[in-house]
Amino acid sequence: MFIQTEATPNPATLKFLPGRAVLPSGTLDMPNRQAAAQSPLAARLFDIPNIAGVFFGSDFIAVTKTEGEWQQIKPAVLGAIMEHFMSGAPLVATDAAAPVTDAEFFDAADAETVATIKDLIETRVRPAVANDGGDITFRGYKEGVVFLHMKGACSGCPSSTATLKHGIQNLLKHFVPDVVEVRPM
């Protein structure tokens, strides 16, 4: 098994590509050891010193470190990923509860605007963010402000503010004139 690695805009996060599907659909963010209990692989990764977060995408695993150099941490992460996939163990424990998601909020009168915002996020923003080892989801809309939740490599990334303000905000303002600002949540 050959696992490729890619840098992300977040220097604390490295993207691991095992060359096979990781999650059949959606994403799974495990920002701490407690959340990682739902996945044998994530739990194994959190056993490695200085691991602060694990994020599963469709074909990648993004791992975030607290400190240390990737050249010392990367071999242990590669070994854990390889051992997991070679064992045939499930990625997520079958008895794990479904992740709790925050409810979306917006006024019913804004439903059409929200539908357009969600479509733009799904078709234009999420694929680009996934390339950087993360994910972004819609959380709410109120008085022209769009609230988004950043996960994986995007969470805590030094360039996430620029991504939100200059990239996503400009895109949404261009297509949805009612949008005045984008904020993280």
Mean pLDDT in residue range 147-152: 85
pLDDT confidence of residue 111: 92
Q: Report the C-alpha gap between 129 and 163 in whole angstroms.
A: 9
pLDDT confidence of residue 97: 47
Between 164 and 50, whose confidence is greater? 50
For the stretch 62-77, pLDDT in tens is: 999 999 999 999 999 9
Q: Report the C-alpha gap between 71 and 69 in whole angstroms.
A: 5
- For the chain, give the longest Cα–Cα distance: 53
Mean pLDDT in residue range 136-140: 89
What class is the 4-87 domain?
Answer: alpha beta
Q: Report the C-alpha gap between 43 and 96 in whole angstroms.
A: 13
Q: Report the C-alpha gap between 63 and 61 in whole angstroms.
A: 6
The residue whose two tokens read 């941490």 is 73
Per-domain residue ranges for the chain? 4-87, 108-184
Mean pLDDT in residue range 5-11: 90
Superfamily of domain 108-184: Fe-S cluster assembly (FSCA) (3.30.300.130)
- pLDDT at residue 1 above 80? no
The residue type at 58: S
Coil/strand/helix, residue 4: strand
Mean pLDDT in residue range 135-146: 91
For the stretch 40-66, pLDDT in tens is: 999 999 999 999 999 999 899 999 999
pLDDT confidence of residue 102: 63
The residue type at 141: Y
Q: Are 143 and 182 in contact (CB under 8 A)?
A: no
For the stretch 74-132, pLDDT in tens is: 999 999 999 999 998 888 886 554 455 568 899 999 999 999 999 999 898 888 888 77
Per-residue confidence band for 164, with pLDDT thresholds at 50, 70 and 90: confident
Choose among 170, 107, 159, 105: nearest CA to 134.
159
